[in-house]
Structure 1
């Protein structure tokens, strides 16, 4: 099983937002040294807790500081862009860093109504999403009416990010699928993946490929790992209350807060759903999931306020699962 890493360029309270971008670059350098297969970055617009709004720009910076690891997007949100522009950006990346570039595509819109309005896109149907993916692929493969430049760049593999209907879209188009979020935690995951594999329509010899995406943090004990997970889960809880996804806070500050019963319940529920634990706990949990799903790759993510603790967790995950 391949092991890869997704970084969301999380900001931290009291630190410059730009520091999150430099940390993403440094995390990618470490991921390459530790043997991770891919390093992917995300796209979020006008979110206080996330510094990266342009995967292509960040990937270019990371490519200049690494030599072997594959680089990609988890993902480019296709409703926010024209297919030709996306194809051109990733053809340029492939020309600069040959044989190392992936393109993960999703259909999520902005986090809030003002962001969606600023982006100028309405909600996209699964059918429209499939049409736009096809348009990107035709530009990348050189079969569209226009040729995306540079025309001699190599192949850029496509992936579909699936939180629902994306599984059906990936199967119909013969593309690999990245599964995370609620779908990953549902009791229907085996049936959904079996349906994807049955419905898969190969494109140029492609075969069904499943990448599982999950937040994973490892520490000496389950309790210590839960403390690492606390800042990210707290940010999720606060976003449900305020409508704004905030920077990461330190654990001591969160523990000192007067947290209401509803927030506390959501916090405990979120911590239970995080893959945060000792090496034994994570090994057992990942093993069970792989047995259920037959996945080809695990794309791990994870954030915490303490950058050194996060680096140590990344190292342990690579040693444990890589």
Structure 2
């Protein structure tokens, strides 16, 4: 099974955002040693619990600190940027780190009015996503009708992936791009979107056939309960954000579990724990078997958010062993 990593540079309680970014670079080195295929970083603005805000800059630091693993973004939120600038940034990355850079794109725009004002974008900026995507691809291919060139990017083979949100699966099919999809609205909706993507896919210079990367939160430990505890800090931060409008730094699981919660926060906390995979290596292996069988996924992009970096690394180590043991049954053709 081809496994990759998405790291959002979460901030832990008592740890600075600056150290969290340095931790991301170190973590990339560790998962490279474990044999993971890609390491992607994300874009979030003005979030106290997430330090990753400049994905192309962070990707450069990760690529410089590693030697084999592919490095990319999950993703650059294209409506927040000018397509020419994005093409030039990835062109620089691809020139400095040949055959290792992935262009992962999303269509979300700044989450609040204040962030959108700071970015110089309106709430409807995402409505031009298809137009922006076409412009970006033209720059990468050296075919911009304006005669403007993203010089650093031309002539490079930069794989472009599209993160599915809303109509994202249809856009990926229309442009012939690999699809990155998560069960944001449940597995049934996700499977329908994957089926629609495959049915509507148009071959392109980027991909000759559909390619599905399944993004999933996974926690593996030596016991089912211990694996579940790894997910507790992020679940609480997610529940907190739904009532306070702000995703906070991650607290230790024992601190969260000792908290007295009223009915509503408790329900939101329990809801935030759903949709993840957790358990022992055997339990997770069985769940992944079923997931790949139902979705036909070509690759799994794994996020494990734990408060303790050692616990997180152990989870990825155990998961890599699961993949090695079961790869004949779950392997799929890969892109780059």
1:99 aligns with 2:99: yes
Match for residue 49 of structure 1? 49
2:111 maps to which residue? Answer: 111
Offset of residue 181 of structure 1: 3.8
Give how far 1:125 is off.
6.8
Contact kept, 8 Å, 2:90 with 2:153, in 1: the verdict is: no
**CA deviation map 1:72-131 (0-9, x unaligned):** 000000010000000000000000100000011101122322112211212347762111
Q: Which residue is equivalent to 1:174? A: 176
Residues 94 and 154, structure 1, Cα contact 8 Å, conserved in 2: yes
Q: Distance in 1 between matches of 2:255 and 2:151?
A: 50
Shift, 1:149, TM fit: 2.4
Kindly indicate whether residue 304 of structure 2 is the aligned counterpart of residue 302 of structure 1: yes
Contact preservation (8 Å) 2:220, 2:319: yes
* Contact 1:163/1:181, CA 8 A, preserved across alignment: no
1:225 aligned to which of 221, 224, 227 = 227
Contact 2:212–2:299 (8 Å) recurs in 1: yes
**Equivalent residues, number:** 321
SS in 2 for 1:289: helix
Contact 1:72 1:104 in 2 (8 A): yes
Q: How far apart, CA to CA, are the structure 2 residues paired with 1:246 and 1:181?
A: 23
- Alpha-carbon spacing, 1:141–1:82, altered in 2? closer, same or farther (3 Å): same
Query: Quick check: 1:218–1:276 contact (8 Å CA) kept in 2?
Result: yes
Asked if the contact 2:7–2:42 (Cα under 8 Å) also holds between the matched residues in 1, the reply is yes
User: How far apart, CA to CA, are the structure 1 residues paired with 2:278 and 2:202?
Assistant: 36
* TM-score of the superposed pair, with normalisation by structure 2: 0.92
Q: Partner residue of 2:328?
A: none
Deviations 1:170-206 (A, max 9, x none): 00111110001424x2323333212111111111262
**Partner residue of 1:20?**
20
Match of 1:149 among 140, 147, 151: 151
Q: 1:1-322, aligned counterparts within 5 Å?
A: 1-124=1-124, 128-144=128-144, 145-150=147-152, 154-183=156-185, 185-204=186-205, 206-322=208-324
Report deviation, 1:151.
Answer: 5.1
Aligned mates of 1:153, 1:306 — CA distance in 2: 42
SS where residue 216 of structure 1 aligns?
A: strand
Instruction: Provide the C-alpha distance between the structure 2 equivalents of 1:268 and 1:115, rounded to a whole number of angstroms.
Output: 29
Q: 1:252 deviation in Å?
A: 2.0
The 8 Å contact of residues 182 and 190 in structure 2, kept in 1 or not, is answered as no
Unaligned 5+ segments in structure 2 are 325-336
Contact 2:142 2:154 in 1 (8 A): no
* 1: CA distance, partners of 2:197 / 2:69: 28
Structure 1 residues 14 and 154 mapped into 2: Cα distance closer, same or farther (>3 Å)?
same
- Per-residue deviation at 1:60? 0.8
Q: Distance in 2 between matches of 1:112 and 1:317?
A: 36
Distance 2:60 2:124 in 1: 28
In structure 2, C-alpha distance between the alignment counterparts of 1:226 and 1:44, rounded to whole Å: 25
- Note closer, same or farther for the CA distance 1:44–1:215 as it changes in structure 2 (3 Å cut): same
The answer as to whether partners of 2:228 and 2:279 remain within 8 angstroms in 1 is yes
Tell me the SS of whatever aligns to 1:182: coil
Corresponding residue of 2:329:
none
Residue by residue over 1:119-165, the C-alpha shift from the partner in whole angstroms, topping out at 9 and shown as x without a partner, is 12123477621111111111111111211122555211101100220
Contact persistence 1:92–1:149 (CA under 8 A) = no
Aligned-residue CA RMSD (Å): 1.5
